[in-house]
């Protein structure tokens, strides 16, 4: 679940930067978005068309995307990249398609309340385009996707990156007051960002769904494509899965999901490390996963000696610049670890973990 409060005040306060050595890594204090909720993030490599490598994050509740310029530096700059309020009230996910272009998903919501539902048939996919070489990217609407429930993770096809797969599942029905908690089926959409054409390519998998094992949480959440496989995490059952797909993003028969790991936490998003390990955000912590044997290690946050360092982590992405290829950037949506779910203090942040030297 994502939480939100009214729009952040401007300007944003300067970030804090002290470093702390912890075991075999370093963790950097967050860049703060005090009244916003960072729901997802992406890293961008330095390129001929980009003046700076960036960490790009989405934020609720006002459909904004921020970028952090040179996040590895002592003085990173946090800027508002674009507000998508023309098409959405909140943003849920973001993913790179072709170089310097990002697909952002969001919808209209009834209120700014944390448990507000979206307005039916208002989910859409939008684009944030940095390819023009400007600090101010260009935004456009790609497609309305009214049949979707809660568009979340976005992953580009390796051989045709203008086409993306988007995960989709929700537990709140599109109405102002929640009366029916029956979850929607988990599913995956295929979207061509050039034409706006989309289709449902995966549904009916138990590994996509939620059974409310931990309460009212979703099933399929973050997704990535690596080689011939779609990878995803299930927030409800704690599973990390993969499924073989063809070059068009469709399942390859017999199309059976493979369990890579299972752990008792609320998975949200993940990325692949330099050594093919999986690094994922879970319940107030960051984890490393060995996909070869299913071993899961709590790297930072709850479950380590640093219990309070990662309140509400939502997304993780490794840097792609020579300066930060071993740096895991993590976004989050809580200012502090809550004592219970009735007393949550919202506060968006981006934090960095140096994973150099990590061993399982």
pLDDT tens digit string along 197-212?
A: 999 999 999 999 998 8
What is the pLDDT, as a whole number, of residue 28?
55
Place of tokens 């859409």: 124
Q: What's the average model confidence in pLDDT over 316-331?
A: 92
What is the pLDDT, as a whole number, of residue 29?
55
What is the pLDDT, as a whole number, of residue 26?
47
* Spatial contact of 313 and 289, defined as CB atoms under 8 Å apart: no
| Torsion of Cα atoms, 71 then 62 then 281 then 204, to 10° | -140
What is the pLDDT, as a whole number, of residue 4?
30
35: confidence class by pLDDT, cuts 50, 70, 90: low
pTM (whole model) above 0.75:
yes
Q: Which of 20-24, 55-59, 91-95, 332-336 is least confident?
A: 20-24
130: confidence class by pLDDT, cuts 50, 70, 90: very high
How many Å apart are CA 130 and CA 39, to the nearest integer? Answer: 20
Look at residues 212, 191, 209 and name the one whose alpha carbon lies nearest to residue 144. Answer: 191
223: confidence class by pLDDT, cuts 50, 70, 90: very high
Region of residue 284 (phi > 0: left; psi between -120 and 50: alpha; otherwise: beta): left
What is the pLDDT, as a whole number, of residue 85?
96
How many Å apart are CA 115 and CA 125, to the nearest integer? Answer: 22
Could you tell me the two tokens for 85? 């309020």
Residue 172 has pLDDT above 80, yes or no: no
Could you tell me the two tokens for 94? 């973001």
């Amino acid at each position: 679940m994502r939480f939100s409060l009214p729009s952040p005040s401007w300007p944003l306060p300067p970030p804090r930067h002290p470093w702390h050595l912890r075991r075999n890594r370093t963790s950097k204090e967050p860049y703060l978005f005090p009244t916003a909720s960072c729901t997802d993030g992406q890293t961008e490599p330095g390129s001929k068309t980009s003046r700076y490598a960036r960490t790009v994050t989405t934020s609720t509740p006002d459909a904004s995307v921020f970028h952090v310029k040179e996040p590895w530096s002592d003085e990173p700059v946090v800027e508002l990249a674009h507000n998508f309020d023309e098409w959405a009230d909140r943003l849920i996910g973001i993913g790179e398609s072709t170089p310097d272009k990002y697909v952002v998903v969001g919808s209209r919501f009834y209120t700014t309340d944390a448990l507000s539902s979206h307005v039916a048939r208002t989910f859409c996919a939008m684009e944030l385009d940095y390819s023009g070489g400007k600090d101010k990217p260009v935004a456009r609407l790609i497609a309305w996707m009214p049949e979707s429930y809660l568009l979340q993770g976005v992953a580009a096809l390796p051989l045709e990156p203008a086409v993306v797969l988007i995960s989709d599942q929700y537990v709140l029905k599109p109405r102002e007051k929640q009366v029916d908690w029956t979850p929607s089926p988990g599913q995956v959409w295929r979207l061509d960002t050039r034409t706006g054409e989309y289709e449902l390519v995966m549904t009916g998998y138990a590994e996509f769904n939620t059974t409310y094992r931990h309460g009212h949480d979703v099933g399929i959440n973050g997704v990535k494509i690596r080689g011939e496989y779609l990878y995803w995490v299930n927030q409800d059952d704690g599973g990390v899965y993969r499924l073989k797909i063809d070059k068009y993003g469709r399942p390859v028969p017999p199309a059976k999901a493979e369990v890579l790991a299972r752990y008792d936490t609320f998975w949200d998003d993940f990325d692949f490390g330099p050594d093919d390990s999986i690094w994922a955000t879970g319940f107030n912590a960051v984890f490393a996963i060995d996909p070869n044997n299913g071993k899961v290690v709590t790297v930072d946050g709850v479950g380590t000696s640093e219990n309070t360092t990662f309140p509400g982590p939502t997304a993780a992405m490794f840097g792609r610049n020579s300066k930060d290829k071993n740096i895991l950037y993590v976004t989050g949506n809580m200012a502090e670890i809550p004592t219970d779910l009735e007393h949550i203090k919202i506060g968006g942040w981006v934090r960095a973990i140096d994973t150099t030297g990590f061993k399982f």
